[in-house]
A and B are shown apart, each in its own frame.
Chain A
Amino acid sequence: MSKLSIEGVGRVFPGVRGGKPVTALQPTTLAVAPNDFITVLGPSGCGKSTLLRIVAGLDHPTSGRVLLDGRAVTRPGPDRGMVFQSYTLFPWLTVAENIAFGLEEKRVARPEQARIVAEYVEKVGLRGFEHHYPKQLSGGMQQRTAIARALANDPEILLLDEPFGALDNQTRGLMQELLLGIWEREQKTVMFVTHDIEEAIFLASRVIVMSARPGRIKADIKVDLPHPRHYTVKTSPEFSALKARLTEEIRVEAVLAAAEH
Chain B
Amino acid sequence: MRPLEPVSPWLRIVLGIAFFVVFVAAWSFATFGGFVSKTFLADPLTMVNDGWTLIAKFGFMTDIGMTIWRVVGGFVLAALVAVPLGILMGAYKPVEAFFEPFVSFARYLPASAFIPLLILWAGIGELQKLLVIFIGSVFQIVLMVAVAVGSTRRDLVEAAYTLGARDAGIVRRVMMPANAPEIAEILRLVLGWAWTYVIVAELIGSSSGIGHMIVDSQSLLATGQIIFGIIVIGLIGLVSDFLFKAVNRTLFPWKFA
Contact = CB atoms under 8 A, between A and B. Distances in A.
Name, among B159, B177, B254, the residue most crowded by chain A CB atoms within 10 Å (CB to CB). B159
A105 B153 CA distance: 20
A83 to B, nearest CB: 9
A58 B160 contact: no
A150 B257 contact: no
Interface string A135-173: 110000000001001100100000100000000000000
A241 B161 CA distance: 40
Contact of A82 (B162, B177, B180): B162
Interface string B140-166: 000000000000010110111111110
Interface stretch (A3-11, A73-81, A181-189): A73-81
A106 B162 contact: no
B163 A92 contact: no
Interface string B165-188: 100010001100110100000000
A102 interface: yes
A107 B94 CA distance: 30
Task: Bin the interface of chain A by size.
Answer: 20 to 34
Interface in A19-63: 56-58
A121 B160 CA distance: 19
Nearest to A89: B159
Contacts of B32: none
Given A90-B177, A133-B254, A149 B158 contact: no
Q: Which of B156, B163, B164, B180 has the most CB of A within 10 A?
A: B163
A84 interface: yes
A102 B257 contact: no
A40 B11 CA distance: 56
B179 to A, nearest CB: 10
Interface string B191-228: 00000000000000000000000000000000000000
B29 interface: no
Contact of A88 (B159, B252, B253): B159
Contacts of A91: 178, 254-255
B160 A101 contact: yes
A247 interface: no
Interface of A: 56-58, 75-78, 80-82, 84, 86, 88, 90-93, 101-102, 104-106, 133-136, 146, 149-150, 153, 159
12 contacts: A77-B162, A78-B162, A78-B164, A82-B158, A82-B159, A84-B155, A84-B158, A90-B159, A105-B163, A106-B164, A133-B257, A153-B164
The 10 closest A-B pairs by CB, nearest first: A78-B164, A102-B163, A76-B161, A82-B162, A88-B159, A133-B254, A105-B164, A92-B177, A133-B257, A92-B254
